[in-house]
């Protein structure tokens, strides 16, 4: 075949190839442009941490007391612990605690080994516990402060620390959360305004664990704190909020 005819046949093929390359480049350019735009949009956010403390005061207090005794004969152990329990009842009643504020679980009896002289004999340990639960926190605190009166009478009583609870803790957590979100919003507005932007809507939010701590405490824990040793507490809430930026 003559060379002129061959060149005429190959020319359309060359044009088609160049056209395909041009289309591919154009499509690739559009795809890259869209990808860059999407990445830019995805990055137009700001994440800010907000925090707040909400004070709350306990309205219920729990307290426990116990008397016990040990004896080789169970009847002797029961008789002795009953006498000591009567002294504790009189002490609590004399302190102004009503009967419905004090509960007495059943006696607890356990077999033990007692040292009698140089021998170890089987015996019994009997325990009577008292549980105090009241909304009159001032009165319970006053009674607890006088526990040494029982010791002075020869009654070997053991007690726990007062445990303070706030029955409206759930409401305080909600208030603390709202204030923490508002704090995050204020921080984000200040940052965005400083760079000449405008704050948009919330994209996401993540709540940290609550810390229920003594008033003005700086204690925190990764697992949260639920303080029961303090009458006056505060709920510490932390939230991380991601905002869109316009």
Report the 10 Å Cβ neighbour count for 130. Answer: 21
Q: What are 192-233's pLDDT values in tens digits?
A: 999 899 999 999 999 999 999 999 999 999 999 999 999 999
For 137-152, what is the mean pLDDT?
A: 97
Output the furthest CA–CA distance in the chain (Å, rounded).
Answer: 132
| Selection from 38, 138, 148 nearest residue 91 by Cα | 148
| Selection from 200, 220, 202 nearest residue 210 by Cα | 220
The structural architecture, per CATH, of the domain 45-57+167-245 is 2-Layer Sandwich (3.30)
Q: In the predicted model, is pLDDT for residue 11 greater than 70? A: no
pLDDT recorded at residue 117: 85
In CATH, 60-165 is 3.40.120: no
Q: What is the mean pLDDT of the chain?
A: 87
pLDDT recorded at residue 10: 52
Q: Return left, alpha or beta for 108; rule: phi > 0 is left, psi -120 to 50 is alpha, else beta.
A: beta
Say how far apart CA 24 and CA 26 lie, in whole Å.
5
Q: What are 48-107's pLDDT values in tens digits?
A: 999 999 999 999 999 999 999 999 999 999 999 999 999 999 999 999 999 999 999 999
Say how far apart CA 223 and CA 218 lie, in whole Å.
15
pLDDT band for 13, please (50, 70, 90 cuts). Answer: low
| Selection from 81, 69, 158 nearest residue 114 by Cα | 69
Give one DSSP letter per residue of 131-194, joined into a string: EEEES-HHHHHHHHTTTHHHHHTT--EEEPPPEEE-TTHHHHHHHHHHHHHHHHHHHHHHHHHH
Per residue in 54-73, is it b (16+ CB within 10 Å) or e — as a string? Answer: bebebeebbbbbbbbbbbee
| Selection from 127, 151, 61 nearest residue 97 by Cα | 61
pLDDT recorded at residue 134: 98
Sort strands 60-71 and 119-134 into parallel, antiparallel or unpaired.
antiparallel
How many Å is the Cα radius of gyration of the chain? 38
Q: Where are the alpha helices (DSSP H) in the chain?
A: 3-43, 74-94, 137-144, 148-152, 169-194
At 85 the three-state DSSP class reads helix
**How many residues in total does the chain contain?**
246
């Amino acid at each position: 075949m003559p060379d002129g005819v061959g060149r005429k046949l190959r020319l359309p093929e060359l044009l088609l190839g160049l056209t395909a390359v041009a289309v591919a480049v154009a499509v690739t350019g559009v795809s890259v442009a869209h990808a860059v735009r999407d990445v830019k949009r995805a990055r137009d956010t700001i994440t800010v941490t907000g925090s707040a403390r909400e004070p709350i005061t306990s309205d219920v207090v729990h307290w426990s007391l116990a008397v016990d005794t040990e004896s080789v004969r169970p009847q002797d152990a029961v008789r002795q612990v009953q006498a000591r329990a009567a002294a504790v009842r009189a002490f609590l009643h004399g302190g102004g605690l009503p009967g419905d504020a004090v509960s007495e679980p059943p006696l607890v009896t356990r077999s033990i080994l007692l040292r009698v002289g140089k021998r170890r004999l089987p015996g019994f340990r009997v325990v009577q516990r008292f549980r105090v639960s009241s909304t009159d926190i001032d009165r319970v605190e006053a009674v607890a402060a006088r526990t040494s009166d029982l010791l002075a009478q020869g009654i070997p009583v053991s007690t726990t620390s007062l445990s303070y609870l706030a029955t409206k803790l759930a409401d305080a957590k909600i208030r603390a959360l709202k204030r923490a979100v508002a704090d995050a919003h204020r921080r984000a507005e200040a940052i965005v305004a400083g760079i000449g932007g405008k704050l948009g809507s919330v994209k996401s939010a993540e709540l940290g664990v609550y810390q229920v701590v003594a008033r003005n405490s700086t204690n925190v824990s990764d697992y949260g704190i639920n303080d029961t040793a303090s009458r006056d507490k505060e709920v510490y809430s932390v939230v991380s909020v991601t905002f869109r930026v316009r």
